[in-house]
Amino acid sequence: MAEDAAAKDDKTPRTARGERTRQALLAAAAQEFGEKGFHDGSVSGITRRAGCALGSFYTYFDSKDDIFRALVADMSGQVRDYVGPRIADARDGIDAERIGLLSFLEFAREHKEIYRIIDEAEFVDQAAYRAHYENTASRMTTRLTKAAARGDIRADVEEVHAWAIMGMNVFLGLRFGVWDDSRSADEIAAIANALVERGIGTKA
């Protein structure tokens, strides 16, 4: 009986078509919440943007809160998937942080709505909000720790450094990604990276 109830509550798409519909709803939710905010955004607005019937929405999500929570996780995953492969091509640990910021600036310029959505998550779903930043910081800490082990950066680099760099990146993305994207992203990343290198580089 419990297994039947769990299966009924599981809204994971069973087919490729179902996954496409779910992704279309998430993309529509990003537009809806990005333009109107969570409180003024609506399920009907999301389905209209996605070109889906209302019933299709409830096949994959329980409520507006549910899709918002899923959207925060999805956008966090998009950032990870966009930045991660690019960092893999870095020359060393310092260059990885430059590429990380550059990639984030590129992503923010293409998805300006991410800032409004993540900021609203603090008040709509505190757990999703914290998870976004904690997961990002955790990945950065792991990356820095590995770089330190290779001798690319100072040996004493730890979690505090990861949060400091992430905080810098977040506000640079807001200023030069969302508010004004006319300045070269490469230039912004190079300037910030010089600060990082002086702060945690082996020659600091």
Supply the pLDDT for residue 14. 80
Q: Is the pLDDT of residue 198 over 90?
A: yes
Supply the pLDDT for residue 97. 97
Supply the pLDDT for residue 190. 98
Supply the pLDDT for residue 9. 59
**CA pair distance 9, 18, nearest whole angstrom:** 16
The DSSP code sequence of 151-202 is: TSB-TT--HHHHHHHHHHHHHHHIIIIII---S-HHHHHHHHHHHHHHHHBT
Average pLDDT, the chain: 93
Q: At CA 162, angle to CA 73 and CA 187, rounded to 5?
A: 90
The residue-averaged pLDDT of 7-34 equals 87
pLDDT, one tens digit per residue, over 36-90 is 999 999 999 999 999 999 999 999 999 999 999 999 999 999 999 999 999 999 9
Higher local confidence (pLDDT), 59 or 13? 59
Largest CA-CA distance found in the chain, in angstroms, rounded: 64
Q: Is the pLDDT of residue 6 over 60?
A: no
Share of the chain above pLDDT 70, in %: 94
169: nearest Cα among 193, 145, 148: 193
Angle between helix 126-150 and 113-124 (nearest 10): 120
Q: Is the pLDDT of residue 204 over 80?
A: no
Supply the pLDDT for residue 40. 96
End-to-end CA distance of the chain: 63
Determine whether 94 is exposed, middle or buried from the number of CB atoms within 10 Å of its CB (0-12, 13-18, 19+): buried
Residue type, 52: C
Tell me if 112 sits within 8 A of 177, measured CB to CB: yes
Supply the pLDDT for residue 202. 83
Higher local confidence (pLDDT), 101 or 5? 101
Tokens of 105: 């600036």
Q: Is the pLDDT of residue 121 over 60?
A: yes
Which domains does the chain show, CATH number per domain? 12-61 (1.10.10.60), 68-204 (1.10.357.10)
**CA pair distance 112, 115, nearest whole angstrom:** 6
Strand partners, 153: 201
Supply the pLDDT for residue 146. 96
The residue-averaged pLDDT of 138-167 equals 97
Supply the pLDDT for residue 12. 84
